Structures are given as structure tokens and as C-alpha cells.
Structure 1
Amino acid sequence: GTTNPTSGSKLDLRGNLYVGGKAAIASNNYWHRAQSTVDNRYGYFEVRRKTSNRRGCYFGYGSPGKYIDLRLEDGNSLAITGGNVGMGTKNPRTPLHLYSRNDPTILRIQSSDAFGAGRIEFWSDPQGATNEWRPGFIQSTDRGGFTGGLAFFVNGSGFSRKTSAVEVMRIENGSVNIKGRLFVTNIPYGDRRNMQWDSSSKLLYHDNSSRKTKENIQSLEDDFSKVLQVEPKTYTRPGNSEHWEIGYIAEEFDDLGLNKLVYYDEDGSPGAINYRKISMYLVEIVKDLNCKIEEYEDRIKQLEQQMS
């Protein structure tokens, strides 16, 4: 196909080459080249079906941008361009772009070990730099019995902890375990049920009053008048001396025997007061006072009748 073969070439073929059996390209050079003789064209290797002449895969140097394009038939492709890798697309928009008609589109991470966790890590700063660090990662977990979960880790804080692993949250079998503080903003207004936290189980609850969720219902017996002995206090919290609060002291309730109105910590020490249930004691005191008032009114009527 040419009268001017490339210098140094044993064979210079300008056109198509058909090999019916196996073919190999080998030399002492560390590279092999497919090159177009026309400007602004590109060289490529491709594999086609003989019967339909349909291209099965394609590997080449693209134009006008520099990219490596490995295309499979039926529209599937693997493209590397501008430092981006595209799977299912020849125009990747990010360092890794997965594009598929499948719903959902799945990226699978799997270990070949008996149980090997899958992990996605997030890194910051240039690779190999002194300040290169790992802010966090997400890792799969196994609690046994094929009970899986996802654990979320962060590095902590400080230069010495650039690649440390501090678990901050775990999602497992429908439960969410948060190891740190929970911050919630934009909470809507409204008269709703109160939420309560149990320091022992670490669970959140809401109290209700339906008979359907209660057992062993009995009348409460206690010396309700003891609640009249407690004194309200004003105080500040450690490290926040400018913010004053008002309330009762749990230890004083415990000392008076008002233990049914006290929340106790895991070590058995008084930790908090059930302020909402104090009203139950006050209602009983008011009922007792009402009975006494009725008795006094009857006695007054009797005295008035005697005087008349």
C-alpha cells in the first residue's frame, strides 16, 4: 500500500490486514504503535465479529482531546480522558463516573476474605504531602448471624491524628448508634409528645398514657405532701457562669424519699428530676385540701344553724 515504507520497518502495510489465526506483536522495544498517516486522525486497535463485522471492542487514542477509549458493543464503554475514568460513558465528568441504565446503578466493593470489610475512604491534601490526612471513612460491619451494618469513622482532631479512626456512628439492623453529640436544627413548633432519654440503654423514648401499653396498674401511694418541702433553686452550669437557670436539685428529692420523681444514673446516684410528674403529686395535695375545705364548710354550716 506504499512505495515509501517507514525507515526501519520490516513490514509497512498501508491498508487492512486480515489474520485468520493467532497473531502477536513482539519486539525488544517497550512500546508498539498504531499510527494514522493522515493529520487529525487517530490510531486504534479493534476486535470485530467476522459474520456481522460488528465491532466488539475498541482501544484507541481519541480526537480532538487526548483520551483512551475502550468501547464494547451495545453502547457499553470504558473511557479514560483528562484524568477521568468513565464506566458506561465516554464523557466522564468526575475522576470516576459510573453511568448505567440500571436502577439502581450499583458500585460493588467486595473482599475475598471469609469476612472482609468494605471501605470507602476520604483523603485531603496532595498525595505524599506532609499535611496529607484522612478526614474519615465508611466501613461495613459484621455482628454475626449475617447481621451487617455500616460504621462511620472520623480522624478526631490534631496533626498527630491525621489518619486516626474514631467511630462516631453505626447503622445496624435498623438502629442508629451515635457515639457523640446529636445536633438538630430547624425543629418545627407544635404541641407534641415529649421525648426522653434513658442513660442506661442509651435509647430515646416518648411517654404515653394509654391503658393499652400498661400492665400491673395500681393506685399510687406516697406521701405527696413531701413535695411541699423542696425549695426551688437558681444556678449556673460549669463553664457557663453567665447563664442562670432555675430548677430543683435531684439529691434533695432523693433525700426526702421522693424517689419516684427522680431519674437515677447507672451508678444509682440521682441524675435528674421528672418535672412533668410533679403535677401528679400537686393534684393529690389539691384534692386533699379540697376535702378539708368541704369539711370546714360543713362545720361552718352546722355552727351557723346552731347560732340561728
Structure 2
Amino acid sequence: MEATLHTPASLRARSEKAAAGLPGLLMSAERLAATILLGDHGRKRAGAGDNFWQYRAAQPGDARRAIDWRQSARGDGHFVRETEWQAAQSLMLWVDDAASMRFAGGDRPSKLRRAQTLALALAVLAIKGGERTGLAQLPEPPRGGRAQLIRMAGALMDGDGVTDYGSPRPQVMPMGARAVFLSDFLGDPAPLTEALTSAADRGVTGVLVQVLDPDEEAFPYDGRTVFESMSGAVRFETLKADRLRDAYLDRLAQRRAALRDLCARTGWRFQVHHTGGPAETALLPLYAALEKRR
């Protein structure tokens, strides 16, 4: 069976299947990114750059060549012309592609597709702002340019989704980078705790986005119901599903409280998004939260 998976025909079929969804994903992400008005991406501190920031009074130790003699001639003192520091930053993204993320209630998009679209829209915004971006689970370093967007879209579409729940295991997290992890965060919390603790040690801050379907939030099940995990590994049948509602909602609230506490301890932020609403309701506050961490 393993030999069959690696035949040229099989590889071509898999590539064509992944490529078929790539343009739609990238187009959706670019359309979503267009709803965000790009502001000035310069970081408000003095340093190497091209954009003028401010004049300040010359101080002992300033080099003579740093003094703006034209501005100084207008007054009695000497002034230094400072530019705005505009070093490119890195934005690292992780999208959970486990089986649980394929869940979708009614005619809503799956949690996975919404998470992919949000992540790629953030990448579009970052690259347009002159930053580098990449996927945290891949060994490749973050890059800029449209070619990087295409590479990221392809990698996002090529997920396996074998296990029921996913966990981040970042391979590339540059010092001082910003990061966004998108998942339902319903699996084992230990790997997530380890990932955020390690990120905090490297000066990496960011946002956890818990993506849930409204049915997972409300538990609208009653009477005889068969619950089955998306991978098919777990199956449970009950005649009185409504009796499970309170216990389920309590567990969900406990998990969310634990996620908020983890973010508070590591300097991250926490955000919840439901697939029943438009993606813009998640992107705008997410983008604003990342801008505050510049």
C-alpha cells in the first residue's frame, strides 16, 4: 500500500486535488484582507528607516553628522532629525488541521476552512505591510512576497487531519515574532501549554483563536442521538442527549477559562470565533490585537 501512495499517478492526483482548492482559498483570503484598511506599519521609535518621525534637541554624544543644520538654523539650538524604525517583523501562523476541525453544522463553513481563510488573510495583510510570514509547523523560515502566500496556501490545503485533535509543535519561531494559533483547542491542552511557554521564553507573543461551530457552543441535541468523532475513532449513543447538555457546557467553560489563564500567564491574547458569523468579525479585532504587539 505504501508503494501505491508514492506512484507518479497518485502524487499527481493528490497535487491536482490540493491545487483545485488553492485559488479559492487564496481568493477568499485576499477578499477578506481587503476589508481591513491598512494603516501605517512603521514602528513608533527612532532608528534606521526612511520616513521622518520627529526633531529632537541634540544631546551630548550625538555625532555632528546627525544634526540637521537647516532645522537648527531656524532656532537657537541644535536639532537631530530622527527617522522611524521600520524593521520587518515576522508573523507565524498555526492552523489546526485535525479531524475535529472538519466539523460543520448546517450549511456553515467548516472550522478548518474558516481558520485557513483567517490565517491566510492575516498573511496577506502582513506581507502587504512589508513583513515576513510563515507557518509555525514547517521548517521553512518566514518570507515575504506573493510567492510565499501561494506556498502557504498550498501547505494549508495539504493537511492530513488524521487524528481527532491537533496540537501545535512549532519548528520555526523567530525571536520577538508575533504568532496566531487557530484551533478548536478541544484536545489535550499539555502540548499547547508547552508551545506557548516556549514561545514566551523567546519573546514571542500572539493570539489564540478558538474556532467553534455554533452547535458546539449551544449543544442543541435532544432525545436519541449518536455522537461520533470526525475520525470515527469514538462513537457514543444516548437516548437522552439533553441530559448531557449542562455537563458539556460546564466542561467547555472550564476549557475556555484554562485557555484564558494560559494566555494571561504567557502574554498572549485569547479570542473566540463562531463559524456562524462572518469572518470579518474575527479578522478586525485579531488584526488590531496584533498591531498593539508591534
Ranked by relative contact order (alpha carbons within 8 Å, sequence separation 6 or more), the top structure is: 2
Structure having the larger proportion of residues in helix = 2
TM-score bucket of the superposed structures, by smaller chain: under 0.3
Structure having the larger proportion of residues in strand = 1
